Amino acid sequence: MPYMQSYTRVELTDFEGVSLVHFITDNWENIKNFKARPDDILIATHPKAGTTWVSYILDLLYFGNTSPERQTSLPIYLRVPFLEANFPETPSGEDLANKLATTPRIIKTHLPVQLVPKSFWEQNCRVVYVARNAKDSAVSYYHFDRMNMISAEPGDWNTYLQRFMDGKTMFGPWYNHVCGYWEKKQTYPNLHYIISFLLRKRITKGVHFDAMKQNKMTNYSAVPVMDFKISPFMRKGKVGDWKNHFTVAQNEQFDKHYKEKMKSTTLQFRTQI
């Protein structure tokens, strides 16, 4: 575990209608002009939907046999760069992606569909979108923002849940994010849309959540801006943990809000097994 130095919490700013931190917007020209290649694979998610899990699975599928040493020598964030990341003490994501020697390059993003660099669409790249139900996403994101020292101050759970519903968490509203990629899928055949719940029913031992949580190459324990004394990066990975956080009143308010926000889409999620 790295020594946890003091970091200053940052404020979210509105960037083209999406809440982001200055670390990302400061590097926006480089992100916007990123040059994708036709064989690139882009993993897109709203935060805490299973991004690391899917990154690990795809990395294993493509390179597990030919370059097995990668699994024990390179952290997942170097094997699958986080495109828009531009945080203290680490190389930028777009710089890491540009230096990737693998074919294909596997790259991840949390950007909503309208902010994804145009070159990915122009090059007809494969895009894997992973969506998780809103209630578990909100809980997981809350605990992540508690331990991520360079995210905005999360406040208490009740305050955070309202912010989540208002779309004022980083990378914008969950509703717009999952629906935006769902709509894109209707006209872009190279977009594979996965509901996290369905994927979790087909796991093998190597990529089981508990195994990845203990694996230093996948659990982000070497990242200095994350305080594991508050919460691990990979916390539970379960469907339905929201029941341990939502009060009856919060759940009723959330369901009413959710129904309104999702009334125009055919996209459906399960919030319990």
State the catalytic residues. Answer: 110
SS3 13: strand
Q: Taking the CB of residue 39, how many other CB atoms lie within 10 A of it?
A: 12
Give the integer Cα–Cα distance in Å for 216 and 44.
23
Q: Are 143 and 226 a contacting pair, CB within 8 Å?
A: no
Burial-class residue 201 by CB neighbours within 10 Å (0-12, 13-18, 19+): exposed
Radius of gyration of the chain (CA): 18
Distances from the Cα of 98 to the Cα of 23, 30, 113, angstroms: 19, 11, 21
Evaluate the CA torsion angle 124, 107, 86, 67 in order and state its sign. negative
DSSP string, 111-157: --GGGS-HHHHHTT-EEEEEE--HHHHHHHHHHHHHHBTTSPP---H
Question: Which contacts of 95-103 are long-range, i.e. CB under 8 A and separated by 24 or more positions?
Answer: 97/34, 98/34, 98/35, 102/62, 102/63, 103/39
Q: Which of 194, 201, 231 is nearest to 58 (CA)?
A: 194
